[in-house]
Amino acid sequence: MGLTDIKKELKKLDKDKLIDLVADLYKKNKSVKEFFDFYVNPDERELFEKYRDKVFEAFYPKRGYNYKLKDGKQAISDFKKLGTSTDLLADLMLFYVETGVKFTNDYGDVNESYYKSLATTFVDSLTLMSKENLLDKFEGRVVKVVDDTSGIGWGFHDYLVQVWMDFYPSEDEEDYEDDNNAIEEKGKIIKLDGQ
């Protein structure tokens, strides 16, 4: 069935039957309940805190020791579906990366797929921030994430540095490139005539 078919069927119902159907959905489906709760009482900050806790628990579960990246990514996806502000969505995405980096610094290097998930979310969050003109607002946290990865392996730190430089180009970066070119020039072997 497509959306058009569903709409046709719903139009056939009288108001009371439609209310009963929505109430039944509300009782039986957790995501529908959450959607309607937010629809009736749109407290974005409260909702953000709830999803922030879900992301945190994906890395630091209340029970057990296993992180579950899938749960953290699902929390971001569910939060996005509720139609919240892009500012808070970017915040939650960056929090996922921050928490993953903290987990690594607390417990040691993990594996390639773990860092790939963090790196992808980092790029996605910065892309969203750039699109919505939020890069300046989050710059301090982005720099801290990059700094906090300095001892992490798998090329993760180097990749995040490159992404950071792509989104936050600066005059210092250009100076750095000029200095490196000058050093390369100094290091070249100059052949003298006759040798």
**Could you give the CA distance from residue 19 to residue 23 in angstroms, rounded to a whole number?**
6
The residue behind tokens 């509720």 is 82
Q: Is residue 182 part of a domain?
A: no
Q: Is residue 137 part of a domain?
A: yes
Q: Is residue 35 part of a domain?
A: no
If pLDDT is split at 50, 70 and 90, which confidence band does 40 have?
low
SS (H, E, C) 9-55: HHHHCCHHHHHHHHHHHHHHCHHHHHHHHHHHCCCHHHHHHHHHHHH
Domain count along the chain: 1
pLDDT tens digits for 45-103? 888 999 999 999 999 999 878 899 999 999 999 999 888 899 999 999 999 999 999 99
Q: Is residue 133 part of a domain?
A: yes
Q: Is residue 193 part of a domain?
A: no
SS (H, E, C) 102-143: HHHHHHCCCCHHHHHHHHHHHHHHHHHHHHCCCHHHHHHHHH
- The boundaries of the domain holding residue 115 are 44-167
Q: Tell me the pTM.
A: 0.73
Q: Is residue 184 part of a domain?
A: no
Which pLDDT value is given to residue 193?
Answer: 42
pLDDT tens digits for 87-131? 999 999 999 999 999 999 999 999 999 999 999 999 999 999 999
Q: Is residue 6 part of a domain?
A: no
Q: Is residue 158 part of a domain?
A: yes
